[in-house]
Amino acid sequence: MNFDLFTDPDAAPTGLPPGGGGDPLVTGLNPEQAHAVTTTDGPLLVLAGAGSGKTRVITHRIAYLVERLGVPPWQILAVTFSNKAAGEMRHRIEELHGEGASDLWLGTFHRIGVRLLRSFGKHAGLASSFGIYDRDDSKKMIKRAMAALNISDKQLRPRTVATYMDQAKNSLLLPGDPALPQTDAVEKRCAQIYQRYEDEMRRADAVDFGDLLMRPVQVLREVPTLREHWAARFRYVLVDEFQDTNLAQFELLKLLTSVHGNLCVVGDDDQSIYSWRGAEVRNILDFPVTFPGATVVKLERNYRSTDVILAASGALVRQNRTRHDKTLWTEVTGGEKIAVHATDTDSDEADWIARRIEALRGEVPLNEIAIFYRTNAQSRVLEEAMGRFRLPYVLIGGLRFYERAEIKDLLAYCRLLVNRDDTASWLRVVNTPRRGIGKTSVQRVEQAAASWQVSVPEAARRMVQGEDRFRGKDKLLAFVELIARLRTRVDGMRADEAGALVLKECGLREALLEEGSLESQTRLENLGELLSAMGEHAAGAPDPTLVGYLEQVALVADVDKLDRGHEVVSMMTMHAAKGLEYDVTFVAGLEEGLVPHGNAAAEGNTEEERRLLYVAMTRARKRMHLSYARLRRRFGQEELQTPSPFLTALPDELLERTGPVRRRGWGGVARVGSSSFGGAHARGGGGGRGGGRGAGHGAAWPSAPARVPRDDGTVVERHVTREREDVPVIQRESAGPFQAGGFARHKSFGKGEVIDVAGHGKLARVTVRFPRVGVKKVLARFLQPAG
DNA sequence: GTGTCCCAATTTTTT
DNA sequence: ATTGGGACAC
């Protein structure tokens, strides 16, 4: 592999005339990029292919506005897709501009929405302390609304309602709007629940993600003075990833540019992958129609990838019917072929990936390697393989830190302190930890809230103040007073101090300490981590209080935390990969039903799935690996898979196909330790094919792997790869230090008998019977082998 | 009011 | 395969 062949994507492109007469902000850009940077006034559409330097264009444009045209930064609004992208952009602007860009409004649509609502939310019926509800909170409120309307969550799934409301809000439809879809019984009921939900949210002084876009639009439409004020303020508006904006976002942009009309949007219709979130590709396709006289600039030169990667991904996306025709080109030639590897099982696939990464070690820094997949559930096997090979990795998405129960508990206390009407948080913590306020008491409070038409916390306050006597009043009173007391003490405190105080006073820590189990110990550690995260935030944020921190938590996605500074492999979904680039990438699970995903295909979204794979493929600079397995575990069941039909679009001469090979003379259908393949092979597609590799086009399965026992008891696997070396298969459970029937020692539980072992290595879960505490499942890393 | 057991959903993607 | 929520018993 010769990596020196390729140009640094951030270096100035070579062989092009300088675009702007010696201006350092423009020289080094190609003519199209320079045109996009210097065309500052009026509507501008930049159609920027993958890797064509669009971030460069946006950052240079902002610097150009500030330095050459003397535009004060506070008159510029730049919208990005993720907070991470915003952070990177701010950093790059600072590099260009030399000084802080703190006055610049730069952030995601949702963050801009929060900022606007903090300023004029009262026009939408919100106090400035309003809370932001995530999916979980929102779902809880939906359930409550459904319960109030006597709709069982069995006849209508809350998730369906959530999707309905999401779409409504993305399309700027308020409850009661005649344009709301109400064609069938389900939709009618959803519309009804929507109304009720909004009432409840208003009482709780809370907004959901959809509200962060819809409410500002609503206010700006209804209050002309505000609209004029804000539109006059923003003289220049820039938007990245415009192909993934929805109606509400576009409307917000139109309102904010209604005075100056200087709207610059950058995007690529081939990378539109969020239609399920309401994204309208039409926004970008019709831009010249919506804004007659708009300047259109096309960036088709790719600075990121090799010719091979570009040709393969281009061949794929060209199969889509609805797209602007464009062809990316590069001066880079001689790129390596794309590795396409087939395996028998998903864990074999994961092993292959880990082994490849192991082989690349030293040659490529680990933080220049990424693994992409379609669904978060796929990360599990990959993680296990990375663990077996002791490869450090960072997982983006999946099980999030902030979704752990104890974290949500403490945050719920904090949110309740900031927003005294926060119904969802109140319900979460009222009996956490147990303080004797059970179902009946809570129901009584909820009923009171409904009849008084106030938030649940407010109802509780009134009830304990009133003269009425009822069972459990003392306990409820104690809780109400606890919250009131904490609220006054926390006022004005730094987020971490406040968090520590709450943890100490609310009883969570006591309860966990008392429990004394391994699990409670881990939970306490997690809470400690939360406090230090709060401290970090308080140290660097403009608003170091709880309000600022809670806003951060609500709006920051997992990908935002990706830190490329450390030498670790990145693992994420293809969606999360948008906007990132790596020297070497792996795309795993290229199987029908996964890529394209079965649900998406059923909804007729095959083209978007193709774009998604296109996005994943165009992340690679130098070398790409595609892989698929014949057998994959889903819901704990092994299922037969067929290679992704998308693979057939890739020209064979750009690929190098490998797969496990049958070893001659190894008992017919060679396999070790797996009996699951019996009839699978024939049905898999490559049935009659003999040994050798799965050559040919598209969906061909290679034969079973050759796994050969060696004298030392390990097993080697023989692959037809270029290395041609025997690689040890990693130890199975039985070879680990813990075996059923053996003994293990735990720090606090003492010595116990091992009953069962599941998983491998440090991730293994060992079931142990301890003499005093009984049977526990414990992670292997907490155990020592014991005689 | 609390604890335990069983079953259902989960795994399409996320600000 | 795992998890959370609801039904039921105490």
HSE of A615, CA atoms in CB hemisphere, 13 A: 30
- For residue A348, indicate whether it is catalytic: no
Three-point CA angle A433, A437, A438, nearest 5°:
105
- For residue A140, indicate whether it is catalytic: no
Are the CB atoms for A274 and A244 separated by under 8 Å? Answer: yes
- For residue A169, indicate whether it is catalytic: no
pLDDT, residue A759, reads 54
**What does the alpha-carbon distance between residue A210 and residue A169 come to, in Å, rounded to a whole number?**
5
Sheet bearing A295-299, strands edge to edge: A105-108, A76-80, A236-239, A263-267, A44-48, A295-299
A84 CA: nearest nucleotide by C1': B15
pLDDT, residue A210, reads 94
- For residue A733, indicate whether it is catalytic: no
pLDDT, residue A456, reads 94
Catalytic residue among A240, A551, A558, A608: A240
Report the Cα–Cα distance between both ends of chain A, in Å, rounded. Answer: 49
A108 CA: nearest nucleotide by C1': B15
What percentage of chain A's residues is helix, strand, coil (to nearest 5)? 45, 15, 35
In terms of Cβ atoms closer than 10 Å to its own Cβ (0-12, 13-18, 19+), residue A164 is buried
Which residue's C-alpha is at the least distance from the C1' of C1?
A: A636
Closest CA to A235 of A260, A264, A263: A260
A399 touches strand C (CB under 7 A): no
**What does the alpha-carbon distance between residue A339 and residue A623 come to, in Å, rounded to a whole number?**
8
pLDDT, residue A755, reads 67
Which residue's C-alpha is at the least distance from the C1' of B1?
A: A438
User: Could you give phi then psi for residue A356, rounded to 5 degrees?
Assistant: -60, -45
Closest CA to A588 of A388, A375, A282, A774: A375
**What does the alpha-carbon distance between residue A465 and residue A136 come to, in Å, rounded to a whole number?**
31
Three-point CA angle A30, A33, A34, nearest 5°:
80
Distance CA A471 to C1' B15 in A: 44
A677: CB partners within 8 A, 6+ apart: A344, A630, A631, A669, A671, A704
Catalytic residue among A111, A144, A408, A619: A619
Catalytic residue among A55, A243, A432, A641: A55
Nucleotides of C under 7 A from a protein CB: 1-2, 4, 6
User: Could you give phi then psi for residue A222, rounded to 5 degrees?
Assistant: -90, -25
- For the four alpha carbons of A684, A686, A691 and A692, in that order, the dihedral sign comes to negative
Distance CA A275 to C1' B13 in A: 10
pLDDT, residue A761, reads 45
Are the CB atoms for A616 and A574 separated by under 8 Å? Answer: yes
Are the CB atoms for A150 and A160 separated by under 8 Å? Answer: no
Nucleotides of B under 7 A from a protein CB: 1-3, 9-15
Are the CB atoms for A216 and A222 separated by under 8 Å? Answer: no
A636 CA: nearest nucleotide by C1': C1
Q: What type of residue sits at position A511?
A: A
Closest CA to A740 of A753, A751, A727: A753
Are the CB atoms for A280 and A290 separated by under 8 Å? Answer: no
Which secondary structure element, helix H or strand E, spans residue A518, and what is its range? helix A518-540
Distance CA A415 to C1' C8 in A: 34
**What does the alpha-carbon distance between residue A745 and residue A743 come to, in Å, rounded to a whole number?**
7
Distance CA A688 to C1' C3 in A: 42
- For residue A54, indicate whether it is catalytic: yes
HSE of A271, CA atoms in CB hemisphere, 13 A: 27
Query: Taking chain A (787 residues) in consecutive chunks of 10 residues, what is each chunk's mean pLDDT?
Result: 33 40 82 95 96 93 92 94 85 76 88 95 92 89 89 86 93 94 90 93 94 96 96 96 96 96 96 93 93 94 96 95 88 94 94 96 95 94 92 81 82 94 92 87 91 94 90 91 95 94 91 79 86 88 89 78 82 93 97 92 90 97 96 88 95 92 35 32 31 34 40 36 29 46 66 64 57 60 64
Catalytic residue among A249, A271, A545, A573: A271
pLDDT, residue A661, reads 55
- For residue A271, indicate whether it is catalytic: yes
pLDDT, residue A655, reads 96
In terms of Cβ atoms closer than 10 Å to its own Cβ (0-12, 13-18, 19+), residue A174 is middle
Q: What type of residue sits at position A282?
A: R
